[in-house]
Structure 1
Amino acid sequence: MTEKQVYIVDDDEAIRRSLNFMLRTSGYKVEQFTCGEEFLKAATKLSPGCVLLDIRMPGLDGLEVQQAMAREGVTLPVVIMTGHGDVNLAVRAMKAGAIDFIEKPFEKATLMSALDQGFARLGEDDVRKLRAQEAATRLEVLTPRERDVLRGLVEGLPNKTIAYDLGISPRTVEIHRANLMTKLNVKSLSEALRIAFTAGLGVVEA
């Protein structure tokens, strides 16, 4: 079993040292950051893992780091660490996408439970990405025109409308439709659409 990666983002050296020891002795890989800015510089290049993010730090606070992560497309699961009296901030962080928050000082079991939630979320994201990649690979066998027809079907358009939009005959649309289903090795339109939706066709490209 590979070690799970945890990123600690906290300006308090004592907290970082304590967390580092607790996590490493529990079998986790740990990387530490002393502030939100330092973490964000590296965030887009980090391997999958969970982020333990302090809510109150000099410079960017935890909420601002979350906002920056969202802007930059960083989807690492975040567990917020709060001090006493920061529960309202923690609730705001949860609404912004954090999976859990833990209040300092916290028990080891509380930390492990929060991280378990994070890695479960990470696992779901990995599965979704893998399925999307597999679906996109299947679509690569289609010609550009067959993709155009499939995109029209994803949008729920009838053959005649697709034909009009593409400047071809309805009969040609039917031929492309039959060909793409053969290439995708599916027996029904719903199966073809499921592959298209999984790959993001008509969403990313719309």
Structure 2
Amino acid sequence: MVYIVEDDASFRKSMERLIRKAGYEVEAFGTANEFLTSADIRYPGCLLLDVQLPDTDGLTLQQTLNEKCSILSIVFMTGQGSIPMGIKAIKSGAVDFLVKPFKSDELLTAVREALERSTNGAAEALEKDSVNALLKTLTPRENEVLRYVIAGKLNKQTAFELGTCEKTIKVHRSRIMKKTKVSSLADLVRLAQKVDIQPVD
């Protein structure tokens, strides 16, 4: 899905025709509020967003979407863009910052890139949810041991630092592997990295 938020009606309609002709589904809005009220921001898609809108500015809407954990990828459009504004938009996750008037192929290239990034982001989000669901099955002690395991600590070292016996650590380690459905230490390390679990120092 491609969303357009642009207050210039004639420009909005011309973009809508162009994008629809390229084979994409399109929904267009004249204000940020109309977009937030009607669009489903939970799913992958591209948002073509004008910087200056009647009810807010594009950067504020971008911030709102980030706070709502939207996976839409944003392409900004402006007739009065500045380099600092463009840098801020890109740093906040925008795919591109197009200055009007831009060519049709520039727009369509940005749309393709945005949709690809959004789809990949959705897949990563689903994978993270799956990993987090597995990790929620671990006990607090197992979560603690996990950080030692992915740090490459031996069972004997972990037992000493946690004030327990090596046999207990072996049991915890076995349960961690079983609950997270991995078969090797390398797989466990990769799984932990996906959700930013840090090994102990």
TM-score normalised to structure 2 length: 0.79
Query: Does the aligned pair in 2 maintain the 1:9–1:35 contact within 8 Å?
Result: yes
Q: State the alpha-carbon separation in 2 of the partners of residues 151 and 43 from structure 1.
A: 41
Query: Does the aligned pair in 2 maintain the 1:162–1:173 contact within 8 Å?
Result: no
1:28 aligns with 2:40: no
* Counterpart residue number, 1:87: 82
* Counterpart residue number, 1:121: 117
Pairwise CA RMSD: 2.9
1:106 aligns with 2:105: no
1:163 aligns with 2:162: yes
CA spacing shift, 1:7–1:149, aligned 2, 3 Å: same
1:157-184 per-residue CA deviation (whole Å, 9 max, x = no partner) reads 75226634xxx54421221102332454
1:38-89 per-residue CA deviation (whole Å, 9 max, x = no partner) reads 3234566443100000011122111111122222222311001111x42333
Name structure 1 gaps, 5 residues minimum.
none
Query: Does the aligned pair in 2 maintain the 1:44–1:74 contact within 8 Å?
Result: no
CA spacing shift, 1:37–1:160, aligned 2, 3 Å: same
Query: Does the aligned pair in 1 maintain the 2:150–2:185 contact within 8 Å?
Result: no
1:1-206, aligned counterparts within 5 Å? Answer: 5-42=1-38, 45-83=41-79, 85-88=80-83, 89-136=85-132, 138-139=134-135, 145-154=141-150, 158-160=157-159, 163-164=162-163, 169-184=165-180, 186-198=182-194, 200=195, 202=197
Q: State the alpha-carbon separation in 2 of the partners of residues 49 and 153 from structure 1.
A: 39
> Identity of counterpart residues, as a percentage?
35
Query: Does the aligned pair in 1 maintain the 2:43–2:71 contact within 8 Å?
Result: no
Q: How many residues align?
A: 194
CA spacing shift, 1:14–1:161, aligned 2, 3 Å: farther
Q: State the alpha-carbon separation in 2 of the partners of residues 75 and 162 from structure 1.
A: 41
Name structure 2 gaps, 5 residues minimum.
none
Query: What is the identity, as a one-letter code, of the residue corresponding to 2:81?
Result: D
Query: What is the identity, as a one-letter code, of the residue corresponding to 1:131?
Result: E
CA spacing shift, 1:45–1:92, aligned 2, 3 Å: closer
Query: What is the identity, as a one-letter code, of the residue corresponding to 2:127?
Result: R
SS at match of 2:19: helix
Post-superposition shift, 1:106? 2.3
TM-score normalised to structure 1 length: 0.77
